[in-house]
Amino acid sequence: MSVRTLRLPSPTHPRRALGAAAATAAVALAAVTLLPTGQAGAAGTTLRSLAEANGLYFGTAISQGDLNNAPLTAVAGSQFGMLTPTNEMKWDTIEPSRGSFSYGPADRLVSFAQTHSMRVRGHTLVWHSQLPSWVNSLPGSQVKTAMENHINNEVTHYKGKLYAWDVVNEPFNEDGSFRTDAFYNAMGSGYVADALRTARAADPTAKLYLNDYNIEGLNAKSDAMYNLVKSLKGQGVPLDGVGFQAHFILGQIPSSFKANLQRFTALGVNVAITELDDRMPLPPSADKLARQAGDYASVVNTCLTVSGCVGLTQWGVGDPDSWIPGTFPGYGAATLYDANYQPKPAYTASANALGGGTTSPTPTPTPTPTPPGASCQVSGKVSPWNTGLTEDITITNTGSTALNGWALTYTLPAGQTVTNSWNASLTPATGRVTATNLSYNATLAPGAATSFGFQATHTGDTAFPTSFSLNGTACTTS
Ligand code: G3I
């Protein structure tokens, strides 16, 4: 596969100036200029470089054990620009017994990051989970001192080396009430401000975050986080950002995600996607992977179009490293890389959303006029959900002559708008659409078939397209 010219955004971070319409247009353009999956990782096409060209970072979570996994580290060290230790900076690893600090595992991850010019998000200083039992056993009167000592020791150890800290992780219950963990029970909600102030004093250069899950959409829990952030900012408490873990389920990215992020940035904090994954019922299928690609592209686009969204971190490098199958039996395949660390359609979609498509797609051969007697058959499948759909379309050359370049034209039902495609270049996004071959699938021998697909939004009509013609000749459908 030849390396193509990249349509890289200007290094001046034009996303900050993108209006909604311009962003939509850019996304639509990117959607029709896909990088073939096998090209992922070619020079200049890393998620990291594409994200950085947009003024964002693209990170991943890595654990100490991952450092022995050569395929994993090869991907991590080249494709991602930010590292979050999966478990190694948590309280149970750092301070397993009171006053006894152990930095070896986390230091190894920081060292890996430095070797690969990656930055580090520290995760996490104050959290109810992975908290050693000695903390939970402390008399309430001693928790504040223990918490401040823990934060001060750990943040000081990494002073000047970390981009950011998740200072407090998961402070809320689903209904928006504070989680009654050791810290809340001892100090009330004031523990959050105290933790932030302690962290800032220990390292004035690290960005300080609050981080939680199920706060991506507008709901009671995100309302609680919003009110907390507003209150903290009003009191002058040091707080730089809010982390949205973004542990999504296939097809269920909240429609209010962008509006929710924007209400936080309006408070004067940055926002970050901190633990992104998108789980699906196992086993994965082409259809599910295509829908997942749409989900990832949507998340990337959301961050791109929210001024103040600083970057995205995926939780784990590949599907083998994901926490999902262990926690949600029957679910998995949640990351950008498959079991062999090969990029999935979600990778390609993410790269394209970041502008990784082609400025001038590899010139495709001019479709040759179909000779008399040539014919074609089209089949396909629509997989709809409430607001979107994916379609896989297979073209069979039922004629006796090979096609060197093809263009399939068809009519989309009203209300369907293409947002993403694979194995073909589609234009325009609505109405009478033409799907043109890419360089690697231009030839269609007699009797041969080729497939392409796309994702679209819809307004209710999820029917299969009609009136197919291949290189100007009407096709039968089956
Ligand atoms: O290290 C021990 C090992 O010695 C032992 O044999 C084994 C037996 O179960 O457990 C190992 O520890 C596990 C640890 O991961 C390291 O693999 C723990 O049981 C297991 O609970 C722990 O899970 C971590 C989880 O946080 C704990 O809540 C996951 O790896 C980690 O991915 C996950 O990350 C969290 C974020 O920090 C916060 N947001 C949610 C996210 C997913 O749960």
Q: What is the DSSP letter of 385?
A: -
277 and 210, same domain (yes or no): yes
How far does residue 173's CA lie from ligand 1's centre (Å)? 20
Residue 373, pLDDT score: 55
Residue 462: partners with Cβ closer than 8 Å, 6 or more residues away: 382, 384, 389, 413, 416
367 is a domain residue = no
Query: Residue 372: is its pLDDT beyond 80?
Result: no
Query: Residue 349: is its pLDDT beyond 90?
Result: yes
Lowest mean pLDDT among 106-115, 304-313, 402-411: 402-411
CATH number of the domain bearing residue 443? 2.60.40.290
361 is a domain residue = no
Number of domains composing the chain: 2
Query: Residue 29: is its pLDDT beyond 70?
Result: no
233 and 115, same domain (yes or no): yes
- Phi, psi torsion values for 470, nearest 5 degrees: -110, 120
Residue 131 beta carbon below 6 angstroms from any ligand 1 atom = no
Residue 217, pLDDT score: 98
199 and 314, same domain (yes or no): yes
Residue 306, pLDDT score: 98
359 is a domain residue = no
Residue 323 beta carbon below 6 angstroms from any ligand 1 atom = yes
What average pLDDT does this structure show over 313-325?
98
Q: Which atom of ligand 1 is nearest to the CA of 124?
A: 37
4 is a domain residue = no
Q: Which of 291, 318, 353 is the last residue in one of the domains?
A: 353
CATH number of the domain bearing residue 247? 3.20.20.80
323 and 411, same domain (yes or no): no
Residue 325 beta carbon below 6 angstroms from any ligand 1 atom = no
Q: Are strands 82-85 and 270-281 parallel, antiparallel or unpaired?
A: unpaired
* pLDDT per position as a tens digit, 234-273: 999 999 999 999 999 999 999 999 999 999 999 999 999 9
177 and 268, same domain (yes or no): yes
Lowest mean pLDDT among 285-299, 329-343, 352-366: 352-366
262 and 401, same domain (yes or no): no
Instruction: Provide the angle, in degrees to the nearest 10, between the axes of the packed helices 190-202 and 140-157.
Output: 30
Q: Is 52 a catalytic residue?
A: no
Closest CA to 318 of 45, 53, 63: 63
Give per-residue burial for 411-420: e unless 16+ CB within 10 Å, then b. ebbeebbbbb
Query: Residue 231: is its pLDDT beyond 50?
Result: yes
pLDDT tier, 471 (very low <50, low <70, confident <90, very high otherwise):
confident
364 is a domain residue = no
* Residues spanned by the domain of 271: 20-353
- Phi, psi torsion values for 217, nearest 5 degrees: -100, 175
Whole-model pTM over 0.85:
no
227 and 128, same domain (yes or no): yes
397 and 346, same domain (yes or no): no
Residue 420, pLDDT score: 75
pLDDT tier, 26 (very low <50, low <70, confident <90, very high otherwise):
very low
198 and 315, same domain (yes or no): yes
Q: Which of 305, 321, 353 is the last residue in one of the domains?
A: 353
Query: Residue 276: is its pLDDT beyond 50?
Result: yes
Asked if 421 and 28 touch (Cβ cutoff 8 Å), the reply is: no
287 and 391, same domain (yes or no): no
**Active site residue: 52, 88, 154, 170, which one?**
170
3 is a domain residue = no
Residue 134 beta carbon below 6 angstroms from any ligand 1 atom = no
Candidates 125, 130, 275, 323: which one to mutate for ligand 1, based on the most atoms within 8 Å of Cβ?
323
334 and 393, same domain (yes or no): no
Looking at every residue in the chain, the average pLDDT score rounds to 88
Q: What is the DSSP letter of 38?
A: G
433 is a domain residue = yes
Asked if 288 and 280 touch (Cβ cutoff 8 Å), the reply is: yes
202 and 157, same domain (yes or no): yes
Residue 87 beta carbon below 6 angstroms from any ligand 1 atom = yes
Residue nearest to atom 34 of ligand 1 (CA): 86
Residue 321 beta carbon below 6 angstroms from any ligand 1 atom = no
151 is a domain residue = yes
Q: Is 216 a catalytic residue?
A: no
Whole-angstrom Cα distance, residue 425 to residue 35? 11
Q: Which of 305, 322, 353 is the last residue in one of the domains?
A: 353
